[in-house]
Structure 1
Amino acid sequence: MSPRSALWRSCRGVGRSVAAYRSDRRGNIALLFGLLLLPLIGTTGLAIDYGQLLTARTTCQTAADAAALYASGVAKALIQQSDGSAASVASAKTEAQTRATGLFNAHVARMTNVIATGGTVTVAKVGQRIDALATFNVATRTSFGGIFGVRSMNASGSAKSSASMPLYTDLYMALDVSQSMGLASTTAGAKSLFTLIKTMERNAGNSGATGCVFGCHVVQTGSRLASSYQSIAGSAVPPITLRIDVLRNAVNKTISTAQSDALAAGTSNYRIALYTTGLSSANGTTYSLNQLAALSSNWNGLSAAAANIDLGPNNGGGTGDSYLKEPLTDLLTKIPTSGDGTSQATSRAYVIIITDGLRDVKGSSCTSGHCTAAFDPAVCQSYKNKNITVGVIYTTYLPILADPTTGSSALDGNYQSLVQPYVSQIAPNLQACSSPGWYAEASDGPSIDAALAKMFGQTTMQPQITN
C-alpha cells in the first residue's frame, strides 16, 4: 500500500472519530446538570425559606388579630367602668395597649427560626367608638438564601378592631303621687271600688250613699268613712290594684331592666334619679319636690327607694294636693344642660314625667274651696332650652259612667266638676310639654307599665348626629 493510501485512510479514521464525538450527547446531560445544580438548590431553598416566612407571618397575623380585639374590648370595659373623664380614658387606653401587647408577645414567643418580631398596639377613642390597631414586623433567617446573598426575609401586617360604647345617660323620673293616683288602675277595679265604697257607706248609716270615687278618696274633715280608699282597696278580697301600685311596680321594673343591661354590658353609663311632686306636708298648702333617690347607678339603692313610692300627703280640707309646675321648676335647677353623652360630665339628660295632668289652683283665681286646671306646659320649654329630652306619660282617668249596682247613671259629681271641664285641654298641654315622639297616654295599669318600658328603651336607642 502506497504512503498516500495509508495517509488517506488515517485521515478518514480521524474524521470519523471527530464526527462520532460531535454526535455523542451522553456527556451533555451531566454537564448541564452540573451547571444548573447550584441555581436549582438555591431556588428550592428560597421557596423553603419563603414558606417559613409565610408561616411566621400567619402566626403574627393571628396574634395581631387577637391583640386588636382584646385591646378594643379592654379599653371599652375600663372606660365604661370609669367616670369618663379625659384622665380615666387616657389611663384605660394605656392599660389596654399594655395588656394587648403582652397578648401579642405571648402568641409569638414560641416561633422558631425567627430573627426578630415587633408588635405595636395603639388605642384611640373617636366619639363613642374605640379603635384598636395592632401592627407587626417579622424577620426570619434563611437557610439557602445566602447562596444569592439573601440572609433574612421580612414581612409585616396589621389588624384593626372597633367597639362601640353606649352613651352616658341620666334619667330623671318626676312622679305625680297626688291622691288621684290612689284611684283604681283598671275599669273593673274602679267599678269594684265604687260598689265597695257604696256598700260601706250604707253600712255606716249613710242612706244617701253615692259610691263617690273621685275627689273623696282620702280621709278628710267630716269624711263619711274613717279610712282612705287606698287602705280600703288594699284590704279588699282580692285586693284592688291602684294606680300608685302600678306606678311603683313600673318604676321598679325599669330599674331592674337598667341593672340587667348594665351587668350585661359591664357599664355604669346609665344613671337614674327618682323624684315625687305634691304637697310639702299633710294639711299643707305649699308644694314639695321630694327626692326619693339622687342620680345614681346604685341599683340596690334605687330599688329600695322605688319600693317607697306611695301617695303623698293630702290636704284634709279637700282643697287639693296636685302641684306640678312648681316642683318641675325646682327639678330643672338640679339637671345640667344635656350633653352629647360621650362622657359622664356631658351625659345626655332625660326627664320622664308621669302625671294625670290635672293641677290644683290656689290664690285669687280660685273662688271656691277646690279649684283645678289643666297642666301648664310652659315650664317644659325651659327643659328643652337645656337640650333635655322630656317624656310625658299621661295617666288618664277612668270615670264610672254607670252604677254597677243599679245600672243607672253614676258619673261622679266630683269628676264632673273637677276633671271633666279640663279633659279636652290636658292631653294637648301634656303633648306640647313632651319632646317629639316622647308622649304616651296610659289609661290603666298595663298601659302605664308598657309606656314607661317603651320610654326607657328610647333613652338607650335614640339616634345621635355625629360628624
Structure 2
Amino acid sequence: MARRLLAGLRRDRRGAVAVTYALLIIPIIIAIGAALDFTIAYNAKDRMQGDLDAALLAAVKTLNTGDPVAVKGRVRTWFATQTNRGAYNLDDVTIDQSSYVVQARATASVPTMIMGVVGINSLPIGASSAVAGPGTSYINIYLLLDTSASQMLASSAAGQTTMRNDIGCEFACHTGDPHTVGNVAYANNYLYAKAKTIRLRSDVLVDAAKTMVSSVDSVDPNHKRIRVGVYAFNTTASQVQAPTYSTGAVRSALTTTTSVDGTDFDRSLKAMAGLVGASGDGKTAATPLKFVMLVTDGVQSQRSWVGASSWTCKKKVGSICVSYPMSAPSYNVTPLNPAWCNYVKNNKVTMAVLYTQYLPVPLDWGYNGTLGSAMPGSWTGTLRSGVSPSITRQAYLPYALEDCASSKDLYMGAESEDAIENGMNKLFKKYMNSVHLIQ
C-alpha cells in the first residue's frame, strides 16, 4: 500500500509548474526592476548632462577670466540652480582648467526602487563637459578701419546741414576748392570742418575703436592674452600698428586725419588676408585665435566716375543741381562683393562687420548718380535671394556687409554716433562670449 502511494506521488506532476514559476518569478521581478532602475538612472544622467552643459556655458560666458577659483565658483552656482535635486543627489563638481579649455565633471547617485532588495540601494552616474572659446584663449584682434574719403562725411544730420549751407558739400575732403565762410578762409573742406568742430564719421570711428580697446583692458587687465593691431584700408590695406599687448600704443595709433579717394575691397581684403595669416587654436601666444573687425560703409568706389561727358544739369531741387549725366565708371560705385571677405575667412579667421551706415545725401549729384541708383547688372556679386533687382545700391549695403561677416550675430549696422561708438564694443563682447561645447 505504501509503495503504491509513493509510486503515485512520483508519477504525479500536478503543482510542479506552480513551484517552478514561484522559483523563477523572483529573478524576473528583480530583472524588470533593475531595468526600471537603470532607465531612471539613465534619464537622470541625461538631465545632469544638460544641466552641466548649460551651467558651464553660462558661467564661462559671464566671466571672461582665466581664474580657476572664479570659474569653479560660478559653475557650482549655475549648476546648483539648474540641477533637479529631486532626481538625484549631487556629490561633487570639479573644474580642470588646462590648455585654455574649461572642463567640469559632476557625479551623483540615484536611489533604486527595486534593486534594493538585493542590496543595491543606489546607482552611480556622472557627466562631463568642456568648453573652449575666446574668453579663455590667446587672441589677436585686427581693427580694419575704412579710411576712404567717404569716412569724411559729417556724422550727424545737423553737421551735414551746416556743411551744405556753408560750403555746399557734406564731405570734409582734404582736396578741393578753398572756401571763405564768415570772412575766414579755409584751404579745403577738411580744415573748415575741423575749425567748426563738426564731427566726421572718421572721428566717430576712432572713438569707437578706443572704447573697444578699453574693454580689452577690462577683459585682459594683465595684458597677457589679447593683442590688438590697427590696419587701414582704402585702395589697399596697410598696417598702422602691429598686434601688441600695449593698448596705449593702440590708442596712439588711432588717428582720423587720413583719407584717400576710392575704396577697393577686392585688393584690400586680399592684402589683409596676407597680413593676418591663418588663425591658430588659441592655446599659446604663438598660435592665437584671430579676429578681424571690419568697420566700413561698404562702398566699393573709384573717383574716375566724376568726369562726366556733359555737365548739363538733369534735375534741380531749388537752385541745387542734384543730377548730372554720369560717365560709365559710375557703375563701379557699388556695395562690396561679400565673396571678397572669404580671402580672410578662409584662413579660419573670424570676421565681424560694423556697418557705419551710409546716409542718403539726396542733394548731392554724385550720390544720386551712384549709390542712389539701382544695383547695376555689372555688379560682381550675387544678389541675395528675395531682394528686388531694382533696390538702390545704398539700400543693399547692409545685405552685402551682413554676408561678409562670419555669422549674422557678428554683423551690426550703426547710424547714429552713439550706435557706432557702442557697436564695436558690442561686437567684441559677442565674440568673447562665443564659447562652444567640445565634449
TM range (shorter): 0.5 to 0.7
Is 1:372 aligned with 2:333? yes
Q: Which residue of 1 aligns with 2:157?
A: 187
What letter is aligned with 1:445? E
What letter is aligned with 2:203? D
What letter is aligned with 1:447? A
C-alpha separation between the residues in 1 aligned to 2:145 and 2:190?
A: 18
Q: Which residue of 2 aligns with 1:233?
A: 193
Is 1:256 aligned with 2:197? no
C-alpha separation between the residues in 2 aligned to 1:220 and 1:305?
A: 24
Q: Which residue of 2 aligns with 1:412?
A: 364
Shift, 1:424, TM fit: 3.0
Which of 415, 424, 428 pairs up with 2:399?
428
C-alpha separation between the residues in 1 aligned to 2:166 and 2:223?
A: 49
The CA deviation string for residues 330-385 of structure 1, in whole angstroms up to 9 with x for no partner, is 11012232233222233221111111111124899x95576522212122123222
The gaps in structure 2 that reach 5 residues or longer are 1-65, 69-95, 105-129, 181-185, 308-326, 374-392
- Report matched runs for 1:239-388 at 5 Å: 239-263=197-221, 266-278=222-234, 287-306=235-254, 308-312=255-259, 314=260, 320-361=261-302, 368=328, 371-388=332-349
C-alpha separation between the residues in 2 aligned to 1:270 and 1:336?
A: 17
8 Å CA contact retained: 2:338, 2:400: yes
Is 1:393 aligned with 2:354? yes
- Report matched runs for 1:125-144 at 5 Å: 125=98, 127-129=100-102
8 Å CA contact retained: 1:191, 1:400: no
Shift, 1:194, TM fit: 1.8
8 Å CA contact retained: 2:176, 2:188: no
Aligned CA distance change for structure 1 residues 126 and 355 (closer, same or farther; 3 Å): closer
- Report matched runs for 1:202-217 at 5 Å: 211-214=168-171, 217=172
- Report matched runs for 1:446-461 at 5 Å: 446-461=418-433
Shift, 1:459, TM fit: 2.4
Shift, 1:392, TM fit: 0.9
8 Å CA contact retained: 1:248, 1:310: no
What letter is aligned with 2:437? I
C-alpha separation between the residues in 2 aligned to 1:261 and 1:453?
A: 12
Q: Which residue of 1 aligns with 2:139?
A: 169
The gaps in structure 1 that reach 5 residues or longer are 1-75, 79-122, 132-161, 198-210, 279-286, 315-319, 402-410
C-alpha separation between the residues in 2 aligned to 1:163 and 1:399?
A: 44
Q: Identity, % of aligned pairs? A: 23
CA-based RMSD: 3.2
TM-score, normalised on structure 2? 0.56
SS of structure 2 residue aligned to 1:339 = coil
Shift, 1:389, TM fit: 1.2
C-alpha separation between the residues in 2 aligned to 1:358 and 1:163?
A: 38
- Report matched runs for 1:16-165 at 5 Å: 125=98, 127-129=100-102
Q: Which residue of 2 aligns with 1:466?
A: 438
What letter is aligned with 1:443? E
Larger Cα Rg: Structure 1 or Structure 2? 1
C-alpha separation between the residues in 1 aligned to 2:142 and 2:298?
A: 18
8 Å CA contact retained: 1:181, 1:311: no
8 Å CA contact retained: 1:169, 1:459: no
The CA deviation string for residues 289-318 of structure 1, in whole angstroms up to 9 with x for no partner, is 221110111122111112x34332x3xxxx
Aligned length, in residue pairs: 276
8 Å CA contact retained: 1:394, 1:441: yes
What letter is aligned with 1:183? L
C-alpha separation between the residues in 2 aligned to 1:171 and 1:269?
A: 11
